[in-house]
Amino acid sequence: MPPFAGSRPRFAALASVMLLSLAQTAWAQADAAPSAADVEFFEKQVRPILAARCHECHGAQKQKASLRLDSRAGVLAGGDSGAAVVPGKPEESLLVDAIRYGDTYQMPPKSQLPAAEIATLVSWVERGLPWGPDAPAGETAGAVDGFDLQKRRGHWSFQPIMDPAPPDVADVAWVKTPVDRFILQKLAAAGLSPAPPAERRALLRRVTYDLTGLPPTPEELAEFLADDSNDAYGRVVDRLLASPRYGERWARHWLDLVRYAETYGHEFDVDLPNAYRYRDYVIRALNDDLPFDQFVVEHVAGDLVTPPRRNPADGTNESILATGSFLLGEAKHSPVDVRQDEADRVDNQIDVFAKTFLGLTVSCARCHDHKFDAITTKDYYALAGYLQSSRYQQAFIDPPEQMAGTLAALDALQIERRAAYVEFAREVIESRLAELSAKLAAGSTTNAAPTTGSPAAANELSLPGDGWGDWSATGAAFGTHPLRPLDLVSRQRDGRDVLAFAGVATAHSGQQTNRLHGVLRSPTFEISSTKIHYRLHGTGGRVRLILDGLQLIQDPIYGGLRFDAGGPSPHWHTQDVSKWVGHRAYLEVIDDGDGYIALERVAFSDDAPPSDSASVELAAVLSRTGADSPETAAEARAARCREVAKAWLAAPDARHADEPERAAIISALLTAAMTDDAAPAARLNERLADIDNRQRDLEKQITPPRQAVALADGTAENERVFIRGNPKTLGDEVPRRLLEALGGTRHAPPDEGSGRLELARQLVAPDNPLVSRVIVNRLWHHHFGAGIVRSVDDFGVMGQPPTHPELLDYLARELVRNGWSLKSLHRLLVLSNTYQMSSRPRPEALLADPTNKLWHRMSVRRLEAEAIRDAMLAVSGELNETMYGPSVMPYLTEHMTGRGRPKDSGPLDGGRRRSVYLAVRRNFLSPLFQAFDYPTPFTTIGRRGSSNVPAQALALMNNPLVVDQSRRWADRVLQSTDATPEARVQAMYLRALSREADPTELAAALQFVAPAAGNPADPAAWSELAHVIYNLKEFIFIP
Amino acid sequence: MSGKCLTYKTNNQQLATNNHSPMHCGRFQSGSLSRREMLVRSANGFGAMALAALATDPAYGATVVDPDKAARLNPLAPHAPHFTPRAKSVIFLFMDGGPSHLDTFDPKPRLDREHGEPIKMKVQPTQFDNVGKVLKSPWAFRHHGQSGIPVSDLLPHIAECVDDLAIVRSMTSNFSEHTNANYFIHSGSGQQGRPSVGAWTTYGLGSECQNLPGFVVLNSGMIPPGGWDCFASGFLPATFQGSSFAGGKSPVADLARSEATAAAQLRKLDLVRSLDRHTVAKQGADDKLESAIANYELAYRMQTAVPDLMDLAGESAATQALYGLDDPKTEHYGRQCLVARRLVERGVRFVEVLPQNLGHDRWDQHSKLKEGHEANAQATDKPVAGLLKDLKSRGLLDETLVVWGGEFGRTPMAQGSDGRDHNPFGFTIWMAGGGIKGGTVYGATDDYGYFAVENKCQIHDLHATMLHLLGMDHKRLTYRFGGRDMRLTDVHGEVIHDILT
């Protein structure tokens, strides 16, 4: 099957290989000395051009793209894209293409050469590339490769994780968890002492915000203050870690890493369906304390984990949801260069993957070996292969057992139906077989040339026989295999549904019922003809040609890549793919409604669709029954009819090689019989009516499937190096593997499928020093305001070395020792005395440790955008604690304009839901959030900014949400039993700031609400006070 | 100048008084200085300690902070450029959709000669893939000014200013799609999430104006494809993101006072301030807290500074007429251009003016080139010329860089019969003002106007030139993010010296 070769031949690559070999041949031929005239031509006309136009970038000083044009050897050796010239063949020479400003290169880049100079150089190539005698002999082209993997692997983060013992310290009394020993040791060495403990109120506020993103309630505060037992704080930590609010809080941190969004951005900000299921996955995983190694494995290969982890509440596939993280990036609907677009998407996926899990900027190696880190371009394309072998899907996540009963019952009905049909056929044809066969034979006297019938021709994409082979069917609609020719389906005939043979092998989404949904995907193939012809029928659903992984198939350019089933009569649909010859693609046959879609054949050609119809014509079948004379031929045809009918009636389920022919003959016999006696059909319909009724009852049990954005394995493919990042200039193929510096070359490349599951296991293997270090550092960062490695997403040379390397390794080891439990790690950190220090600045310590790298005190931190909003809702008493589900649409202000603006605004208060449940629409991010440094979801952001802009003050002063919440809070305060103004003020302080107002504050507040008109419960005045408290810095800064 | 800028008000009353705005109520001021404030301010000004802390935090990038120049806690404080600047401010007249260079500043007689014939060169893939025949320009070109530079009859008013323009006819972009091309011309990258050129500029220079944001986007009702991320701060701090000023009563988000009266708001803010001060005094000063407190002053001032800015009543009838405010066709865009002048007058560093909604697809004429371009030109030609003339007469043009251009140009062959598709391979932008050599034409496209062939310029070159005129070396304006010292120009960009004075 030429269209789908296993490797990825591409024209440009082939061309460059060809060029190279030709060049070598020519080189050998040209060893004879050039003629004097040629040398003179070169010296007088060519060399000056090369010197003036080329040598600045491709000479002794610089060798851009590793190309030197100051020696003949250099020209022939070429650069990253291969030989620059094929002597004697200007049309095949890259250099000539470049100076003519061709597709791949335009040189010199600033301005095209004058036409005369171009002509001279072309002529030079035609003459066989003569060179003068003074050319530096034997000089080779190309820059020296300065990449030394072993040396670069010496960087600290690639070293094995040590197992340091917590150091001995003098002040043992200060130590609450081993963390403190590491911190105290360095403080002591610097002559510093740790800060005194934080006040209990401040500590409760700190840990509650840290772990749940919400303030403690006054009740929680009172309980903690009243509990003077030794483990009062420990119990608080346990309570907070057990709270569902914990997962909501920390999921948001994680979502920053995977550039979580629910639309594709770009021009029209198209929806990314079901993205919220990924968000819910993260919340559940954190709340359930899913071991982090498993979390990583599910992110990389959750679709391949068997058996998948299931959601205990509804049995849906939980593991697969994590893979959605790869697909949350920006996407375009009409990229003019679709291959480049695919390369950009994969680049973003690699960027996010590598920063998130490895803390490495692998993406820097897209165009050249990493400038600093132990990452080569080959490493980059080795990873790209995994994504090249994976696809986007809206996975069906319902538990298989949910529908198993219904499907089995539908199967049983189908068997009943078939039995009724066989019975009917027996009744109609058995007694009249001789007569009917003769009639058929006589009516088909044509001597039509024998046809090859249904077997797929070489230029077709054949459907598999048993199972789905290298195709894949998800959802229930397409069943476990394509229909066989003698399988029965419901067919429209004369406006009515009748039972009939499928006739040919058919991928059919209505095998059991039209109510099921499903998607069928073909293997990946290379488009090698200008047209694709589809033989199909159907009353719903559609076919999509997924070109270079392009999912957002929309006009103007790509509209033709998808088409509808086109009605119940089998027909050819022809797709013009002349623009995409040489591109890789696969088919998606989608049934997501109440109709069906049936695909019989897919053929490739430059012409019209195959002339033979897909279903087998009786005449053709019978004409193949060869005979010498018309008389004996008729008898032979009749005999065949009889023989086929008898055989089928005797064993209707037996398999035969000639099923299409059999289906044609028996169908014809039945039709012939029915023309003079409609009674049996009426009886059949009666029986079927009962079966159909039961079917309709069963269909009522079918619920719409739940789906989620996820990865699926596609056809396994290695990627080739894109020379200088350009998908048009291809280098060597690289087997799929993890970075060499992380041992990627020690493992055999995957032999089937994408290999992501093996990759995932290598990531979390004990010899990978990065995954555990990176995650413990992220937790530290969020608890302490800065990481042990401050550049949390970059553990490379350009990042920061750890301030406490032993502590980092100790924590990484502890994580693994505790079964990768993140909650255990949280405990270790927040129960430490280091975490419980006061943040109050001490001038002498500040001077010695101005950036608090030694953690001589706790850092003051500003709440993140979401925590600020959530805190307002919590304090006003409005917070709606509903978890999970589709996101609340954003509240649209008049300033949020542009393409893709949702038709309707969401509610001002976001349904009072926590911020993590508000929709993240790439082009319509909340301005309120953006003012407080909400990150643009485009890459991994492990460390948010904490800026200070007037928009923040303006928002808290004037934003309608803040004003509205102030009013609601005041209403609640006034309804409560705190009768006196003093009591109200204190209740408000406790709720918002976790402390009571001191006398000065109380007096100021009381004076502020003092009734101008004698009403001590004036809602307006109390609303103003509530607004004041929301505007206090103490409300959003956590000491 | 009509809009004298307030300098950033410190809490030192004596310093503050000489910048007293008539709109500013003296009540919203601080009390006495804390011991710590004294300590810090007497050393190096507001927030010097935090500044020092940030300056030595390399995770934020080595060049982010220069303690000698910038008060980091007021990141918009002006800082010294790398070298003497030629311009202080930029007005970017973004011609969203991609105006046709072939119908404005780049005459191509070959189009007239071959009108209606198939184009005789290889055609690149285009956005709509509906390639028609060669299409001549519906407008005649005439020579204008001392320089005699040809401009089409589509833009008669800008043509009058041609001696002030440096016209770059060899601009190229990397993208054929609006969204990517918009990100590219704004941020030097075709992807979402990178800082806009306006953000880089304010990051590099701060702002001369302390009661308005440093980077203002005048939103006329059409947001370019790609949305607000065209004006985002990307990985730079949110401080530098573009602030949208819309028309109408509330040009800025959350600018309108939520209280019924100014007095009610002041009473509230007074209480906020005194309670905040009280907390700081009790709990020990922290620089983050203090800067957040100070931030309220700027926010408060913006509430009056922005409406003042937008109120054009004080502009003379002649000035208003210069911008075309007396004509419904030009009134809207004219108003935006006039506001742009008022913004740079007030020291705002970077102003971008977006086109208005004319009921069709901005400069993006895939069909009906004549009607569409005419409507766009009618709305913008006179206001743009008015802006240039007004800036010049006020002596502001010398210190303001005006940039006019779209994200790409248009094809020499028709799309369908009467439109032009996107052409990123060669198009025109022009610059005027501070440091620009007027009456210059730079670079050239081929005979068809399809590809830039002489002195090809990249968007990166445009950015490098803009930064250069503002006194910044595009290679030194960096910010460390994701393991790299990021630049507006990535690893590209060369200043176009030939168009500079």
Question: In this model, does residue B388 exceed pLDDT 90?
Answer: yes
Residue among B192, B254, B271 minimizing CB distance to A330: B192
Question: In this model, does residue A134 exceed pLDDT 80?
Answer: no
**In chain B, what percentage of residues exceed pLDDT 90?**
62
> By mean pLDDT, which of A61-65, A539-543, A899-903 is the weakest?
A61-65
Question: In this model, does residue B29 exceed pLDDT 80?
Answer: no
Under 8 Å between Cβ of B414 and B389? no
Alpha helices in A357-431, H assignment, sequence order = 377-388, 400-429
Question: Average per-residue pLDDT in chain B?
Answer: 84
Q: Which of A859, A864, A895 to mutate to test binding with chain B, by most B CBs within 10 Å of its CB?
A: A895
pLDDT per position as a tens digit, A33-44: 788 888 888 888
CB-defined contacts A:B, below 8 A: 261
Q: What is the model's pLDDT at position A907?
A: 97
Count CB-CB contacts under 10 A for residue B294.
Answer: 20
Q: How far apart are CA A360 and CA A370, in angstroms?
A: 11
Q: What is the model's pLDDT at position B130?
A: 84
Q: How far apart are CA A771 and CA A776, in angstroms?
A: 9
The DSSP element (H or E) to which B152 belongs, if any, is strand B149-152
Residues 6 or more apart in contact with residue A338 via CB below 8 angstroms: A547, A548, A550, A558, A580, A583
Query: Mean of the pLDDT values across residues B122-144?
Result: 91
Q: What is the model's pLDDT at position B128?
A: 82
Composition of chain A by helix, strand, coil, percent to 5:
45, 10, 45
Q: How far apart are CA B158 and CA B430, in angstroms?
A: 11
A61 touches chain B (CB under 8 A): no
Confidence of residue B12 (pLDDT cuts 50, 70, 90): very low
Question: In this model, does residue A798 exceed pLDDT 80?
Answer: yes
8 Å CB contact of A952 and B59: no
Q: What is the model's pLDDT at position A439?
A: 86
Q: How far apart are CA A171 and CA A193, in angstroms?
A: 10
Q: What is the model's pLDDT at position B27?
A: 34
8 Å CB contact of B292 and A862: yes
* Residue A429, both tokens: 């044809």
Query: Mean of the pLDDT values across residues B239-259?
Result: 83
Whole-structure pTM value: 0.85
* Residue A406, both tokens: 């219904």
CB-neighbour burial class of residue A141 (10 A; exposed 0-12, middle 13-18, buried 19+): buried
8 Å CB contact of B213 and A950: yes
**In chain A, what percentage of residues exceed pLDDT 90?**
65
Question: In this model, does residue A736 exceed pLDDT 80?
Answer: yes
Count CB-CB contacts under 10 A for residue A430.
Answer: 11
Residue of A nearest to B75 (CA): A948
3-state SS string for B318-335: HHHHHCCCCCHHHHHHHH
8 Å CB contact of B275 and A1004: yes
Count CB-CB contacts under 10 A for residue B238.
Answer: 24
Q: How far apart are CA B276 and CA A118, in angstroms?
A: 73
8 Å CB contact of B299 and A1033: no
Q: What is the model's pLDDT at position A26?
A: 40
Query: Mean of the pLDDT values across residues A680-692?
Result: 89
pLDDT per position as a tens digit, B397-447: 999 999 999 999 999 999 988 999 999 999 999 999 999 999 999 999 999
Residue among A110, A860, A895 minimizing CB distance to B456: A110
Q: For chain B, what is the radius of gyration of the CA atoms? A: 24
Q: Identify the CA nearest to A615 among candidates A442, A439, A451.
A: A451
A11 touches chain B (CB under 8 A): no
Q: How far is A398 from chain B (nearest CA, A)?
A: 35
Q: How far is A910 from chain B (nearest CA, A)?
A: 18
Q: What is the model's pLDDT at position A1033?
A: 95
Confidence of residue A626 (pLDDT cuts 50, 70, 90): low
Please enumerate, as own/partner, the contacts of A643-652 that have beta carbons within 8 Å and a separation of 24 or more.
A645/A429, A645/A433, A645/A437, A645/A669, A646/A433, A648/A486, A649/A422, A649/A425, A649/A426, A649/A429, A649/A430, A652/A418, A652/A422, A652/A486
Q: What is the ipTM of this complex?
A: 0.82
Question: In this model, does residue A14 exceed pLDDT 60?
Answer: no
Q: How far is B301 from chain A (nearest CA, A)?
A: 10
Under 8 Å between Cβ of A392 and A327? yes
pLDDT per position as a tens digit, B336-373: 999 999 999 999 999 999 998 887 778 999 999 999 99
Question: In this model, does residue B69 exceed pLDDT 60?
Answer: no
Q: Which of B37, B74, B275 to mutate to test binding with chain A, by most A CBs within 10 Å of its CB?
A: B275
> Buried b vs exposed e over A965-995: b needs ≥16 C-beta within 10 Å?
bbbbbbbbbeeeeeeebeebbbbbbbbbbbb
Query: Mean of the pLDDT values across residues A73-79?
Result: 85
A899 touches chain B (CB under 8 A): yes
**Highest-confidence range of B69-73, B263-267, B478-482, by mean pLDDT?**
B263-267
> By mean pLDDT, which of A167-171, A647-651, B147-151 is the weakest?
A647-651
Q: Which of A264, A869, A949, A994 to mutate to test binding with chain B, by most B CBs within 10 Å of its CB?
A: A949
Question: Average per-residue pLDDT in chain A?
Answer: 89
Question: In this model, does residue A983 exceed pLDDT 80?
Answer: yes
Q: What is the model's pLDDT at position A617?
A: 67
Q: In angstroms, what CA-CA distances link A1017 with A987, A1020, A1030, B263, B265?
A: 15, 9, 20, 21, 20
Q: In angstroms, what CA-CA distances link B412 with A492, A679, A849, B448?
A: 52, 72, 64, 6
Q: What is the model's pLDDT at position A351?
A: 96
Q: How far apart are CA A825 and CA A831, in angstroms?
A: 10
Q: What is the model's pLDDT at position A297?
A: 98
Confidence of residue B44 (pLDDT cuts 50, 70, 90): very low
Question: In this model, does residue B23 exceed pLDDT 80?
Answer: no
Q: What is the model's pLDDT at position A897?
A: 84
**In chain B, what percentage of residues exceed pLDDT 70?**
85
pLDDT per position as a tens digit, B187-198: 999 888 899 999
Question: In this model, does residue A613 exceed pLDDT 90?
Answer: no
Count CB-CB contacts under 10 A for residue A449.
Answer: 8
**In chain A, what percentage of residues exceed pLDDT 70?**
92
The DSSP element (H or E) to which A806 belongs, if any, is helix A805-817
> By mean pLDDT, which of A507-511, A549-553, B41-45, B403-407 is the weakest?
B41-45
Q: Residues A337, A343, A347, A349: what is their CA dihedral angle, to the nearest 10 degrees? A: 100
B237 touches chain A (CB under 8 A): yes
